[in-house]
Structure formats: C-alpha cells, structure tokens
C-alpha cells in the first residue's frame, strides 16, 4: 500500500472514531490485529459491542466506500469478532457490525456516513 493511501486510510479512521465517539460510543480497541487479520474499531454502545469497518475513499467513481465490504470481508470480520471477544473475555448482550464510510473531498472536512448493523 502506498504512503498516500495509508495516510488517507488513517485519516478516515480518525474521522470515523471521532464521529462515533460524538454519537456516544466508547472505543475499546483501534486497529486490533491478530494473525488472521485486523478490525478497525471495536466499540461499546451501551451494553453492546460494535465491530466497525472503516472505508475511506477520495471519490465515488468506484461506488460508495461500503461497496468495498465484500462477502469475504464480512466472513472475515465475523471470525475476527469472535476471536476478539474470546481474547478479551467479554460476553456482551449483543454484538453489531457497523460500517463507516468517509469520503475525502479535495478540500474541507470528510463526509461521514455511519451504517449501523450493516451486516
């Protein structure tokens, strides 16, 4: 991945984290990694645990950012969520999978769309 793409992705994750915190969610983990992959954000929403995938794009020529969350990515995130829960020893009432889209314009602030219970 190029440095510019990494910077755009890191910016999107910061914007998404700030947005979600502004909505009252509490960040438990950022960029949690294991041998099987990575979860961008793990949050608490009341008594529920939320696993959040952040997708950032500089334009919409390839469709909305959430379109990059494929069936394969959904399966992977579900597996990673179970692993995170087991390692953290957390037994939530419910878990939820959200996607946050961040569109980065040439100038100005990023546009954020929070898709709750995306899958």
* Distance, CA of 99 to CA of 64 (rounded, Å): 11
Place of tokens 């794009």: 57
- Higher-scoring residue by pLDDT: 62, 31: 31
* Distance, CA of 26 to CA of 20 (rounded, Å): 8
pLDDT of residue 98: 98
- CB-based contact 49:96 (threshold 8 Å): yes
pLDDT of residue 1: 58
- Higher-scoring residue by pLDDT: 110, 22: 22
- CB-based contact 44:29 (threshold 8 Å): no
- CB-based contact 20:114 (threshold 8 Å): yes
Q: Give strand ranges (E) for the chain.
A: 26-34, 37-45, 48-57, 95-103, 111-115
* pTM, entire model: 0.92
Average pLDDT estimate for 30-53: 97
CATH of the structural domain 3-115, one choice from 3.40.1350.10, 3.55.40.20, 3.90.1300.10, 3.30.1340.10: 3.40.1350.10
- CB-based contact 80:39 (threshold 8 Å): yes
| Domain map (residue ranges) of the chain | 3-115
């Amino acid at each position: 991945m190029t440095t510019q793409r990494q910077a755009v992705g890191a910016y999107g994750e910061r914007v998404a984290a700030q947005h979600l915190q502004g909505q009252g969610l509490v960040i438990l983990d950022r960029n949690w990694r294991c041998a099987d992959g990575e979860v961008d954000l793990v949050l608490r929403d009341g008594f529920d645990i939320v696993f959040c995938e952040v997708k950032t794009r500089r334009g919409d020529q390839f469709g909305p950012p959430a379109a990059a969350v494929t069936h394969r990515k959904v399966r992977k995130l579900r597996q990673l969520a179970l692993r995170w829960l087991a390692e953290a020893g957390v037994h939530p009432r419910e878990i939820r999978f959200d996607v946050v889209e961040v569109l980065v314009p040439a100038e100005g602030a990023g546009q954020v769309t929070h898709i709750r219970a995306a899958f």
